[in-house]
Structure 1
Amino acid sequence: MATDVTIPPLGESITEASVGQWLKQPGDAVKADEPIVSLETDKVAVEVPSPVDGVLTEHLAAVGDTVAVGSAIARVEAGAAAAAPAPKAEAPKAAEAPKAEAAKPAAAAPAPAAPAAAEAEAEADYDAISPAVRRLLGDYHLDPASITGSGKDGRLTKADVLTAIDNGSAKLLSSGAKPAAAAPKAARNEERVRMTRLRQTIARRLKEAQNTAAMLTTFNDVDMTAVIAARDTYRDMFEKKHGVRLGFMSFFVKAVTLALRDVPSVNAAIEGDEIVYRDYADIGVAVSSPGGLVVPILRDADKLSFAETEKAIGDFGRRARDGQLKLDELQGGTFTISNGGVFGSLMSTPIINPPQSGVLGMHRIEDRPVVRNGQIAIRPMMYLALSYDHRLIDGREAVTFLVRVKEAIEDPARLLLDM
């Protein structure tokens, strides 16, 4: 008996999604509640499970197709067993060849033949990889040969790559190595890949922010000496007690919540002809995912401890990479922190995430000469950038906010004393 696999409800106001990747192919055995397809919504990837045990008999949509909530996307034959692959036909024996031909010794193959065959085989294997998996390999600069595929005929799936990244078994391409997909130098190839729904949403919202808000960016720098010293002193004790590493982000989250309390307009939003002020701080922390940048929300961040903050951020990062963030974790937020420093950024002008009115950009820590007590000293410095909606936030308020953050980071005791 064939059973339709339908698209479940995906969250408030979401009526459709795109097929991102088929996790099971026709003829594969599936179990009840086993994911068979990954869908891409405007915010996250959602896996749709099989409703019954059986065999997947048919795909009703192709990768990239838009599917509506409630529509059938595949069929499963309940209770059926997977068909065994047919044995490959043996090549016909050359029994009719003249004996003289059989007696002739085989000609020696040219020396380059073996490398050429291996290269052709590697290129053929890469061609069998889906575009979504290719993008993921390219994003992380991974060697596909170092990852074991679990798909049909040993093909790589997105889950295989993410698992290899998580357990550290995936190998990076060496600086001199070329990916298996590299075409001969004489070739000039192009590949057209449809934008994911997440990337389309990111593009649309960023452009809306530029068209709507009167955006301006103010910069400052911060001496990280005190925070680095505190982290080095208490890192081992902190991890032993709380089971999580002490990073820099929890210091900045705390510093931002104190600054938002002192400069409430940065935590406010414009709605029509009204300004909405909040007495709480829901901080969005931008994290990287295979599909693009996502911003999960730390609810009531002003009430979280350092350990609670670090645990939440670490959990967000892992689940963003695995595509397991929930929709409600990406909605709302009153202010955003984006850390481009983890990718090596020295300075940038981040774009606000509407309807928020501000975003703080962190950057890489770099030893630079600065003047301290009339003497030139080498200190670990970081540039901070606050992009804000100038319709709501004046320059004086923006500068005051950055100075509050700077003071709290350069004197971490303020974070403990709520100053």
Structure 2
Amino acid sequence: MSNEIKVPTFPESVQEGTIATWHKQPGEAFSRDEVIVDIETDKVVQEVPAPADGVLQEIVKGEGETVVSNEVIAIFSAGSAGEAPAAASSESSTPAAKSSSAEIVAAPAAKKMASEKGIDLAAVSGTGKGGLITKEDVASYIKNGAAPAAPAAPAPATPVAPSTKSSAAPAQTPAAAPMRGERIEKRVPMTRLRARIAERLLEASQSTAMLTTFNEVNMAPIMELRAKYKEQFEKSHNGTRLGFMGFFVKAAVEALRRLPAVNTSLDGNDIVYHGYQDIGVAVSTEKGLVVPVLRNAENMSLADVESGIRDFGMRARDGKISIDEMMGGTFTITNGGVFGSLMSTPILNPPQAAILGMHKIQERPMAVNGEVKVLPMMYLALSYDHRLIDGKEAVQFLVAIKNMIEDPARILLEL
């Protein structure tokens, strides 16, 4: 019995997605809840699990194709995963039968690559189940120096591939000296997620009156507090580690309470004042920057904040952050210091009115009560939309953060 695999229902803010990777090919078996395909949206890469045990029969939408909510992307036959080998063998017969047949069985990605490179799929040997030609088979065929046509007689003295450059050198004449370095270029299409990031950053710089104010903070008090209570904190909160980000989130929550203009967004000609603090925490991944949101951070303890941030970081690297977890947010914190940034100008995350940038902790000589001391200092940057926030409020907000970090008791006492 044939069944359909459909695109999950996207949130209202996501109109469409792109098929990123098929983890199964026609003829291959899978188990219920096993990931079949990855769909990339402009916010996150979403994994689509198998609705039941079965064998993949047909891929309707290949890699790189655009899809919408609830669209059919594949057909499968339901049944126990253990029945897969029989189903595959009965469907594909034998390699000899395949070669004698005019029909060539190839994955959509393999067909696309062969079409782009001018490769005759009849000349490519399939290594997939039942002789299926995969994208890797076509790439291997090209890498081995095959011409974009039916296979011809071996050419005697032609260099095979770039990787065999050193072995091909003796065949060159003295007049054709080898190049000292290869000028390699690689062109790849921008992913949907990267394209969306670029679009939002451009939108922020063009549609807001963005301005940045800076300050610096002495991190010694927080570092001493962390060193003193780190082990006890971890034991008391089920392995949750005490980091720096938790202090900044708590300080930001208190500062947003004092200066509500910073906790706003623009909706048409209306200024929306948020009576809650949903703090977005920027997380870097291989596919780009994502900003999961700590909901109602004003009700979270320091341990809750640290645990939430750690969970976001781990799941973001594995591509497990859901779209809903990145929706909304009233204020964002980004930490370029983990990569060594000493100072930067963070770009707004529309429609939010402000974003706080943390940076590298750097020891510097500072004047303290007429004496020069070497202190662990951090530059802070607050970028804000000047249409919503005056310079006075922005500076006061940053000073409030500075005071609470340099005297952590203020966070607890709300001073």
- Shared fold, TM over 0.5: yes
1:367 to 355, 363, 369: 363
Q: What percent of counterpart residues are identical? A: 55
Amino acid at match of 1:234: Y
**Partner residue in 2 for 1:38:** 38
1:202 is aligned to 197
The reply to whether residue 7 of structure 1 matches residue 12 of structure 2 is no
Structure 2 counterpart of 1:81: 84
Greater shift, 31-40 or 47-56, is seen at 47-56
Contact kept in structure 2, 1:54 and 1:76, CA below 8 Å: yes
One-letter amino acid of the counterpart of residue 84, structure 2: A
1:53 — aligned with what? 53
| Residue aligning to 1:122 | none
In the alignment, structure 2 segments of 5+ residues that lack a partner are: 97-109, 114-132, 137-161, 166-179
Pick which of 288-297 and 356-365 moved more.
288-297
Cα deviation digits, residues 129-151 of structure 1 (max 9, x gap): xx9xxxxxxxxxxxxxxxxxxxx
Contact 1:50–1:76 (Cα < 8 Å) also in 2: no
Farther off after superposition, 391-400 or 346-355 = 391-400
Of residues 362-371 and 282-291 in structure 1, the stretch that sits farther from structure 2 once superposed is 282-291
- The residue aligned with 2:188 is 193
For the structure 1 residues 391 and 222, does the alpha-carbon distance in structure 2 shift closer, same or farther, using more than 3 Å as the test? same
Structure 1 stretches lacking a partner, 5+ long: 90-127, 132-151, 156-180
1:219 lines up with 2:222 in the alignment:
no
Corresponding position of 1:405: 401
TM-score (norm 1): 0.75
Q: Distance in 2 between matches of 1:327 and 1:77?
A: 30
Distance 1:196 1:373 in 2: 54
Q: For the residues of structure 1 that align with 2:217 and 2:24, how far apart are their CA atoms?
A: 51
- Residues 298-313 of structure 1 mapped to structure 2, 5 A cutoff: 298-313=294-309
In the aligned structure 2, how far is the partner of 1:303 from the partner of 1:277? Answer: 18
The 5 A counterparts of 1:89-100 are none
Change (3 A) 1:319 1:370: same
Deviations 1:349-389 (A, max 9, x none): 00011110000000010111101111111100000000000
| 8 Å Cα contact 1:39-1:48 kept in structure 2 | yes
* Residues 1:66 and 2:62 aligned together: no
| Paired residue secondary structure (1:81) | helix
Alpha-carbon distance in structure 1 between the residues aligned to 2:371 and 2:43: 50
1:332 maps to 2:362: no
| Deviation at residue 338 of structure 1 after TM alignment | 0.2
CA offset digits 1:71-117 (Å, max 9, x no partner): 2212223335234699999xxxxxxxxxxxxxxxxxxxxxxxxxxxx
Q: How far 1:418 moved relative to its partner?
A: 1.1
Q: What secondary structure does 2:84 align onto?
A: coil
1:355 aligns with 2:358: no
Alignment partner of 1:279 is 2:282: no
Query: Residue 417 of structure 1: CA displacement?
Result: 0.7
Whether the aligned pair in 2 keeps the contact of 1:23 and 1:36 (CA below 8 Å) is yes
Hey, what's the Cα distance between the residues in 1 that align with 2:197 and 2:219? Answer: 32
**Cross-structure match for 2:146:** none
The CA distance in 1 between the partners of 2:198 and 2:287, in whole Å, is 12
Q: Is the contact between residue 209 and residue 354 of structure 1 (CA under 8 Å) also seen in structure 2?
A: yes
Aligned position for 1:265 = 261
1:324-369 C-alpha deviation (Å, 9 max, x unpaired): 1122211111110000001111110000111100000000101111
Q: TM-score, normalised by structure 2?
A: 0.76
Tell me the residue number matched to 1:394. 390
Change (3 A) 1:324 1:183: farther
| Bigger shift: residues 219-228 or 284-293 | 284-293
Q: For residues 206-265 of structure 1, what are the alpha-carbon distances to aligned partners after superposition, in whole Å with 9 as ceiling and x for unaligned? A: 111111110001010100000000000000000001020000000000111111112111
Name the CA shift for 1:378/1:303 in 2 (closer, same or farther; >3 Å): same
